[in-house]
């Protein structure tokens, strides 16, 4: 067989090679979701308490309710998506079908037209979150439907992570500056300081994530987790100590250094955890004979939203318990509702444009057979969960990690915006949200990952055995 014939055979079997435009097009989907959802995750609680006028405790309960709805909604969406084939594509259709209403509701979440209305906040936030799931679950399955080529999938995943971090950086650093510019026409120095602080939460990814394969080869999978989780804890301890030595502004350089150290540890550890998902999929195939990657992707959605549920309720409760009061005057994040609305409008419309671009550049070529689609049911999620021990381990790790990130991200705006304007008790509450509670959760995460049994040599042997079985059938 000639080289050309081999290439054609591989293509026919689904081992497709993609152009860089197609790879970037796929990654733009995650960039789009980050522009919309990260804005909501990082700044909606601040908007609700400081601009919209909700009580922190009421906002905390709402965040918990929304995440509970998500946990119920995710498996229903996953099952529906697997069982249906829309005209525009099995998975990519939802980028448009869900993207348009998602954009509208995300914008409405930051509209102050019904200021103080808890009902309005519930309707818009619950609706926005449900529509996000309708995009995120099919998008997660889109990767494996584009090609079977493992090298190509690696490139796709790397491209996706890079563009996701671009979105995270745009939101964390861009939103404070944009809101300030729209509100006062000139970005105050304090806002730039906050933008740098929030942006440092994403910046280390561009430095350290490309080094992860080499680091893992050098120290091993588990040791890499231990090292970077410890680095994150050190950064959190530094933030806590420095914030008690004087005002944030007085120690801003030290604050930046501590934030960079913390973010380096968090980004590497939580970024690499996604590489464990294909391993538990292979383990499930090894033990059951079924490679139900769609089911596992739906489960990971439940895991990280369960973590976000825990993380979402904690900040509001801590702020309420410590007596947090929104500052009447803020030099960092303006309380101009129109500025917040216009900023979300810009980011949401940019996200929609990127979702449409992703839709145009992707095409499902590797999907389940019709006979397999008919057998998909919601109960498959829990069957796989209970029989797949490594999956249960990463479930707990995902929950803990996302709870940590959710708590820290939501509290970052309070830490930089009005820490010194609060009572000593409220100040301590904010420090606990940014530093102490996330550090405790990372210690728990280290214990959880110590129970993960799929070392590299084990998973390699499992994959070889799966291939040998396929050859003999």
pLDDT band at 329 (very low <50, low <70, confident <90, very high): low
Separation CA 409–CA 399 (nearest Å): 15
pLDDT score for 153: 65
* Global confidence as pTM: 0.74
How many domains, in total, are found in the chain?
1
Tell me how far apart the alpha carbons of residues 268 and 152 are, in angstroms, rounded to a whole number. 22
Residue 2: pLDDT above 90? no
Q: What band does 254 get if pLDDT is binned at 50, 70 and 90? A: very high
User: What is the rounded CA–CA span in Å between residue 244 and residue 45?
Assistant: 25
The whole-number pLDDT of residue 12 equals 42
Residue 461 lies in a domain: yes
pLDDT above 80 for 418: no
Is 203 among the domain residues?
yes
Q: What is the pLDDT of residue 8?
A: 45
Is 242 domain-assigned?
yes
Q: How far apart are CA 184 and CA 160, in angstroms?
A: 35
In a domain, 404, yes or no: yes
Structure confidence by residue, pLDDT tens digits, 258-269: 999 999 999 888
Flag whether 10 is in a domain. no
Closest CA to 55 of 386, 352, 344, 325: 325
How far from 29 is each of 164, 187, 357, 383, 384, CA to CA, in Å? 9, 30, 8, 30, 28
121 and 62 in contact (C-beta within 8 Å)?
A: yes
Query: Residue 464's CB: how many other CB atoms inside 10 A?
Result: 10
Burial of 301 (0-12, 13-18, 19+ CB in 10 A): buried
Regarding predicted confidence, which is higher, 319 or 413?
319
In this structure, is residue 11 part of a structural domain? no
For 27-54, the pLDDT digits (tens) are 999 999 999 988 988 889 889 988 998 9
pLDDT at 41: 80
Query: Which structural domain range is residue 115 located in?
Result: 18-472
Structure confidence at residue 378 (pLDDT): 66
- The whole-chain average pLDDT of the chain stands at 82
Burial 193-214 (b: 16+ CB within 10 A, else e): bbbbbbbbbbbbbeebbeebee
What is the pLDDT at residue 120? 96
Mean pLDDT confidence for 279-303:
75
pLDDT band, residue 450 (cuts 50/70/90): very high
Structure confidence by residue, pLDDT tens digits, 73-111: 888 887 787 777 788 888 899 999 999 999 999 999 999
What is the mean predicted confidence (pLDDT) over 133-157?
Answer: 74
CB 30 within 8 A of CB 165: no
Q: By C-alpha distance, which of 208, 334, 335 is closest to 266?
A: 208
Q: What pLDDT, on the 0 to 100 scale, is given for residue 112?
A: 92
- The percent of residues in the chain predicted with pLDDT above 70, rounded, is 87
Sign of CA dihedral 163, 164, 169, 171: positive
Q: Is residue 4 part of a domain?
A: no
Residue 283 C-beta-side C-alpha neighbours within 13 Å:
24
Mean pLDDT within 210-235: 88
Least confident of 163-172, 220-229, 314-323, 367-376: 367-376
Three-point CA angle 331, 334, 338, nearest 5°:
165
3 belongs to a structural domain: no
Half-sphere exposure of 33 (CA within 13 A, CB side): 24
């Amino acid at each position: 067989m000639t080289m050309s014939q081999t290439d054609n055979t591989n293509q026919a079997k689904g081992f497709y090679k993609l152009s860089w435009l197609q790879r970037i097009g796929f990654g733009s989907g995650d960039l789009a979701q980050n522009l919309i959802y990260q804005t909501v995750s990082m700044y909606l609680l601040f908007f609700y308490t400081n601009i919209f006028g909700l009580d922190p405790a009421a906002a905390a309960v709402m965040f918990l309710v929304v995440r509970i709805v998500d946990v119920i909604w995710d498996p229903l969406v996953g099952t529906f998506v697997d069982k249906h084939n829309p005209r525009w594509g099995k998975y990519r259709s939802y980028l448009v079908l869900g993207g348009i209403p998602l954009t509208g509701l995300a914008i409405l979440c930051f509209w102050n037209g019904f200021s103080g209305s808890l009902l309005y906040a519930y309707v818009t936030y619950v609706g926005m979150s449900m529509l996000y799931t309708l995009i995120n679950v099919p998008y997660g399955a889109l990767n494996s439907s584009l090609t079977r080529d493992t090298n190509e999938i690696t490139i796709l995943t790397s491209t996706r992570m890079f563009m996701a971090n671009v979105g995270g950086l745009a939101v964390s650093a861009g939103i404070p500056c944009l809101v300030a510019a729209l509100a006062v026409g000139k970005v105050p120095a304090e806002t730039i300081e906050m933008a740098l602080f929030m942006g440092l939460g994403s910046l280390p990814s561009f430095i350290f994530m490309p080094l992860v394969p080499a680091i893992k080869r050098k120290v091993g999978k588990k040791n890499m987790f231990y090292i970077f989780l410890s680095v994150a804890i050190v950064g959190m301890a530094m933030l806590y100590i420095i914030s008690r030595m004087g005002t944030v502004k007085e120690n801003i350089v030290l604050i930046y250094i501590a934030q960079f150290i913390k973010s380096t540890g968090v980004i590497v550890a939580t970024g690499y955890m996604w590489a464990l998902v294909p391993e538990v999929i292979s383990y499930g195939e090894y033990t059951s004979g079924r490679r139900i990657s769609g089911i596992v992707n739906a489960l990971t959605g439940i895991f990280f939203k369960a973590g976000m549920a825990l993380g979402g309720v904690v900040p509001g409760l801590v702020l309420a318990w410590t007596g947090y009061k929104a500052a009447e005057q803020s030099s960092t994040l303006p309380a101009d509702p129109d500025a917040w609305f216009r900023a979300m409008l810009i980011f949401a419309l940019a996200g929609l444009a990127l979702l449409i671009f992703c839709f145009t550049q992707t095409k499902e070529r590797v999907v389940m057979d019709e006979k397999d689609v008919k057998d998909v049911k919601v109960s498959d999620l829990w069957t796989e969960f209970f029989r797949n021990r490594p999956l249960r381990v990463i479930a707990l790790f995902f929950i803990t990690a996302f709870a940590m990130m959710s708590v820290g991200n939501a509290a970052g705006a309070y830490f930089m915006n009005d820490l010194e304007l609060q009572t000593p008790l409220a100040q301590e509450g904010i420090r606990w949200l940014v530093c102490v509670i996330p550090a405790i959760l990372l210690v728990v995460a280290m214990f959880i990952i110590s129970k993960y049994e799929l070392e590299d040599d084990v998973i390699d042997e499992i994959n070889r055995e799966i291939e040998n079985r396929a050859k003999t059938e």
